[in-house]
Amino acid sequence: MKNVTIYSTPTCTYCNQAKEFFKTNNIQYTEYNVGEDTEKRKEMIEKSGQMGVPVIDIDGDITIGFDKEKLSTTLGIK
């Protein structure tokens, strides 16, 4: 199983879509609320160079935003 981390905020529509996608496909993930956790916000920016959410890290493969096609490919979902 791949290690999936999502950096998000509670009000982000695309973050919620990504989390729903993970739940629908039984993908376990770790979530960090970068609106409240400044250390994780810094970590997210260092990994992605972005301040926007969601930033999704799948075993070091960074996806910015909710890109269902890329996530499916990276996770091996058909």
Reported pTM:
0.95
pLDDT in tens, 2-29: 999 999 999 999 999 999 999 999 999 9
pLDDT in tens, 27-46: 999 999 999 999 999 999 99
For 69, the enclosing helix (H) or strand (E) is helix 68-75
Choose the CATH number for 4-72 among 1.10.287.130, 3.40.30.10, 3.30.70.3000, 3.90.870.10.
Answer: 3.40.30.10
pLDDT in tens, 41-67: 999 999 999 999 999 999 999 999 999
* φ, ψ (nearest 5 deg) of residue 73: -65, -45
